[in-house]
Amino acid sequence: MSDNTRTLWHLTSAEQVTAPPLAGDVTADLVVIGGGFTGLSAALHAAEQGADVRLVEAEAPGHGGSGRNVGLANAGLWLPPDDIRAHLGDAVGNRLIALLAGAPALVFELIARHGIACEPVRSGTLHCAHSPSGLADLCRRHAQLTASGAPVELLSAEETTRRTGSGAFHGALFDPRAGTIQPLAYACGLARAAQAAGARLHGQSPALEIEHKDGAWQVRTSGGSIRARKLIQATNAYHRGLADRRPAHVPVHYFQYATDPLPEKTRAAILPGGEGCWDTGLIMTSFRLDRAGRMIIGGMGALDHPASGIHRAWVRRKLAQLYPALSRQPLVTGWHGRIAMTGDHIPKITRPGPGALAAHGYSGRGIGPGTLFGKAMAEALLSGIETNLPIPAIDRHAERWTALQQAYVETGATLMHLIRARVGY
C-alpha cells in the first residue's frame, strides 16, 4: 500500500522544524501564506532584510508539493528557450531564462550557507531520450540552450549507458548546473533558517479569511489573526479553501516509489556519477538514487484511486526494463503530490491586491524557481520596486476547463501505464 502522508522524504529527513499554530492577534510587516519552497524562501529573505515576518501553513512546512518533490534542482523551465521567448517576448524571456539558469546556484548556496542537511549532490541532471524522436527533441533543446549560453552537453547513446547504467536510452542532455536534494529536508532547512533570521512560522494554521482593509492585510486563522502591510500568497497547487483566491492552474499528480537501499555491488553500476534523471516520454519517467542508495522512480498519476494499482504495475515493469538487475527489487514506499500546471507552462506572479504578490504554476519545476520567486517577491514588496521580479506581475491569471484537463491527464497517464505494463515498457 502507498502512504501519501508519510513519504520516503518524511522517513529520511535529517532536518526537523517546529512551527506552532498561530495563537492570538498579532501584527507584522509581511504575512506569508504557504510553507513550501516559495513561501519559506520569501520568509527567510524578508527576515534577513530586517522585516517582521509571519508565515501561516495549513499543515506543516513542506507538507505539499515541496515535500513530495522528485528532488531534481534543475536550471530553467520545462520549456526550451525559444518557446519561452515566443510566449514572453525576447526581453522578458531572456531575463527569465538568465535568472532561472542561476536558480540551482541559489539553492545550493542557501544549503551551504545555512548548513541544510538535505543530501545535496550537485552532479548535474540527465534528460534521457527514450526514443529516436526524443533524441531529436534533445538535439533541438541542446542547440537552443547552448545559443543561450547554457553549458549543456549532448551525450551519445554509449555515454548515456555509461552514465546511467542503463542501455534503454538513445542519448541524453547533461546539465552540469543542476543536482539533486532531499526536498522535504530542504524545505525544513529553509524553515529553520527563516526562524533563525527572526521569522515566525505557524503550522496547522490554514488561512480562513484574507481581507485588505484600512491599508493593511488581515489574515484570520482558527487560532488568531495577523495584520500586516504586505502579503505573499504561496499556496500553489495546495491552496485550501478561499475559492476566490485560488491560483488558476491545472492540478496534475505525480507519483514515486522507492526501493530499500540497493546492495553495494548493484548500486555501483547505477548512476555512478550521482545525476538525477528524467526522460523525454510524453508521460515522463523520473529516476534517481538517494544518499542511502534507494532507487526512486516516478511518473505522472495519482495513487489515491481504484486504478492506481496500474501505476505500481507499470513501475515494476519499467524498473526491470531500465535495470534488469532490479526486476525483483521490492517497492517499499509510494506517494504522490500535486503539480500546478499552467497552459503555457510558465509560472505566474499575480497581484491579489495592494501591497501583495502571489506566485504559482511552476509546472513541475518547483525547487529552483520557487526559491528564486520567493526571494524576488519578498525583495519587491519590501523595496516597493517590482522591476527585479523574474517576470512582470499581472493583475490576474485565468485557466479554462481545469477539471476536464486534470481528468484528461490522469486518464491518459493511467491508460498509458496500463498498456506499457502489459507490453513490458
Grid coordinates given for 77:
523551465
Q: Are 29 and 225 in contact (CB under 8 A)?
A: no
Phi, psi of 323 (to 5 degrees): -140, 90
The single residue listed with the C-alpha cell 552514465 is 163
Q: Are 372 and 106 in contact (CB under 8 A)?
A: yes
How many Cβ atoms are within 10 Å of 198's Cβ, its own excluded? 15
Mean pLDDT of 354-361: 98
Grid coordinates given for 266:
548493484
241 in a structural domain: yes
363: left (phi over 0), alpha (psi -120 to 50) or beta: left
232 in a structural domain: yes
398 in a structural domain: yes
Q: Are 332 and 151 in contact (CB under 8 A)?
A: no
Q: How many distinct structural domains can be found in the chain? A: 1
Q: State the pLDDT confidence band at 2, using cuts at 50, 70 and 90.
A: very low
Q: Cα–Cα distance between 114 and 109 in angstroms, integer? A: 8
Q: State the pLDDT confidence band at 1, using cuts at 50, 70 and 90.
A: very low
Q: Which CATH number covers residue 355?
A: 3.50.50.60
Q: Is the pLDDT reported for residue 3 higher than 80?
A: no
**Which amino acid appears at position 27 of this protein?**
T
224-233 and 216-220: which strand pairing?
antiparallel
Grid coordinates given for 314:
507499470
Question: For the segment 39-80, what is each residue's pLDDT rounded down to a tens digit?
Answer: 999 999 999 999 999 999 999 999 999 999 999 999 999 899
Q: State the pLDDT confidence band at 339, using cuts at 50, 70 and 90.
A: very high
2 in a structural domain: no
Q: Is the pLDDT reported for residue 132 higher than 90?
A: yes
1 in a structural domain: no
pLDDT at 63: 96
3 in a structural domain: no
How many Cβ atoms are within 10 Å of 175's Cβ, its own excluded? 24
Grid coordinates given for 84:
519561452
> Which of 295, 331, 327, 328 has its CA nearest to residue 312?
331
Element housing 216 (H / E)? strand 216-220
Residue 219, domain extent: 8-423
pLDDT at 417: 86
Q: Are 205 and 240 in contact (CB under 8 A)?
A: no
129 in a structural domain: yes
Q: What is the pTM of this model?
A: 0.96
